[in-house]
Structure 1
Amino acid sequence: MNDTSQHYFSMKHMEHSSLTMYNVDNFTHNITTGDQNTTGCAQIMIPQELFLMLGLISLVENILVVLAIIKNRNLHSPMYYFICCLAVSDMLVSVSNVVETMFMLLTEHGLLVVTPNMLRHLDNVIDIMICSSVVSSLSFLSTIAADRYITIFYALRYHSIMTTQRAVAIIVVVWLASTTSSTLFIVYYRDNAVIACLVTFFGITLVFTAVLYLHMFLLAHVHSRRIMALHKSRRQATSMKGAITLTILLGVFIICWGPFFLHLILILTCPKSPYCNCFFSHFNLFLILIICNSLIDPLIYAYRSQELRKTLKELVCCSWCFVM
């Protein structure tokens, strides 16, 4: 790939990325050329074909999840609406990865000629999609945690508290806020305050969700006795299963996105340290983890929900018969 395309593509070349929002001048040449930096750390090169393959698989998986929720009326509930939005958030990562990788492969092989201005605009669009994905994912994880909390502790009033209209309103607000904030983040990416805001939002949402889960699991046993006394044990078990599912989703999210947010924190605290630069050199691995998060989430949905798993099987079988 020529230097121009290396300069503007965001995900695979973090030193010029508006997604990472910082230009590490002393590290630019080493990352671009793949040479070693002062600490002896080299950038880990990952084949573009691997990015493309993982992106396509996760895209197909999340499309199937969205279609399954739309198709099955038994899944038309606030929690599954929020899960559907989580799948859409994962799709943003998949689509941006596939589009970017395709452009890079076509450019590398001389099949596509693009101008620096076009690459700059593509970079901005991809960055906004990625940023929208992480903001919306965090928001919907917190929303689902709140939904499960209401289901467990306000079971008798749940349907009056979490109505379909309110769920739709929450979804609209989250997407508007995610898109708007992500656009502002990318427009003002040169300001370190942008990174600080993103990292702070990550921390706040994780603490909020963790507190809700901690309260749920500490008091669920006592509350389950009260629910059983009211002959609502089945609903309680279902609600706790949903809470456990979202705990797994949150754990996977932290594992997959954690290194990226640590990367942002190090940009704020030690951008020119050779040890931090060594951590930066593994950026491609962080990207693979982010894509894997989009790939793993649908497997968790299917494993934890028998109804969703059944619908997914029907969709896959129908698609296979159609192809044959």
Structure 2
Amino acid sequence: MNSGLMNQTDCPEVMVPFTVFFIVGVVSLAENLLVVVAVIRNRNLHSPMYCFICSLAAFNTIASVTKTWENLMIVLSDMGQLEKRGPSETKLDDVMDSLLCMSFVGSIFSFLAIAVDRYITIFHALRYHNIMTMQRTGVILGAIWTTCGMLAVLMVKFFDFKFVMICLVVFFIISLAVICFLYVYMFMLARIHAKNIAALPIGRKSRRQQRWSSIMRGALTLTILFGAFVVCWVPFFLHLIIIMVCPMNPYCECYRSLFQLHVVLMMSHALIDPAIYAFRRHQCTFVVCFIYP
């Protein structure tokens, strides 16, 4: 390293073989395409909940394709087949960065939409179909994809400005806080609701308890999905925070040397989600058969 630019560090950069990126990208792409195709082709899954699940899978698919494509270009560049900083390569790199940002922001918005949908399902069950119509769901999805596309382009175009990086990190933290609040509040109210069910006569209690247990299993599945998202993306955002806070510190450089591992973990989120669907409801005939009784 150039001591005039940054402090010395004894931590060499950890390199991840291209094969690992390629396998994670291809497997996650296949899994999420399976989810998207299943939701589109199965009329029984044409409901607001599954539309948001499909949107999340589509964003995961974009992330998988983007990172696999980017790593393939790096390999071709190392082989001398591509000019590393040619004009076309620079523009293509911006496009891939925009798609990756769109995937991240879209995943956050999808999780938020799912959390709100679950809240309405649990605590406004009688009015759910009047509140969450397919028309409103389409408008919400259109707003999510349009907003994510615009934000992604702006973030990449002005990413050199520290203010933009700060906004991205703050957005991530606030979004996590809002979604966590919704889930915590939901489970707190669910505990009270469960006590009320326990006080009902035996005949009514058994039917309502069975339905309530099914709904809460779905909410728990979504909580696990959100937890996986946090685990997979937080190391990458710690990397961004370190770039802003201590770019010259050798200890920070040690953490930054793990960047490729953070990227693999970030890509793994798209691979983990369908696996959680299957694990939580393994008795279903298809990977996305969960949430509703």
Give the structure 2 partner of residue 243 of structure 1: 219
Give the structure 2 partner of residue 162 of structure 1: 132
Instruction: From 262, 273, 278, give the equivalent of 1:297.
Output: 273
In the alignment, is residue 97 of structure 1 matched against residue 72 of structure 2? no
Shift of residue 264 of structure 1? 1.2
What is the percent sequence identity of the aligned residues?
Answer: 43
2:22 is aligned with what amino acid?
A: L
The 5 A counterparts of 1:37-52 are 38-52=8-22
In the alignment, is residue 66 of structure 1 matched against residue 39 of structure 2? no
Distance in 2 between the 1:163 and 1:270 partners?
48
Work out whether residues 72 and 311 of structure 1, in 8 Å CA contact, stay in contact via their aligned partners in 2.
no
In the alignment, is residue 310 of structure 1 matched against residue 285 of structure 2? yes
Distance in 1 between the 2:153 and 2:232 partners?
23
Shift of residue 115 of structure 1? 6.4
Distance in 2 between the 1:288 and 1:40 partners?
23
2:187 is aligned with what amino acid?
A: F
RMSD between superposed Cα atoms in Å: 2.1
CA 1:204–1:97 in structure 2 vs 1: closer, same or farther (change >3 Å)? same
Distance in 2 between the 1:239 and 1:312 partners?
18
Distance in 2 between the 1:140 and 1:41 partners?
37
The 5 A counterparts of 1:1-324 are 26=5, 38-111=8-81, 116-224=86-194, 232-305=208-281, 309-312=284-287
Distance in 1 between the 2:252 and 2:80 partners?
35
SS in 1 for 2:5: helix
Distance in 1 between the 2:249 and 2:80 partners?
37
1:26 is aligned with what amino acid?
A: L
Distance in 1 between the 2:105 and 2:57 partners?
13
Taking structure 2 as the reference length, what is the TM-score of the superposition? 0.88
Work out whether residues 39 and 46 of structure 2, in 8 Å CA contact, stay in contact via their aligned partners in 1.
yes
Gaps of 5+ in 1: 1-24, 28-36, 314-324
Gaps of 5+ in 2: 289-293
Taking structure 1 as the reference length, what is the TM-score of the superposition? 0.80
2:285 is aligned with what amino acid?
A: K
Shift of residue 237 of structure 1? 2.6
2:5 is aligned with what amino acid?
A: N
Equivalent pairs, count = 279
SS in 2 for 1:39: coil
Between stretches 120-129 and 224-233, larger displacement belongs to 224-233
Distance in 2 between the 1:38 and 1:114 partners?
27
**CA deviation string 1:265-308 (max 9, x = no partner):** 1122112222112211110010010111111011112223458x
Shift of residue 156 of structure 1? 1.0
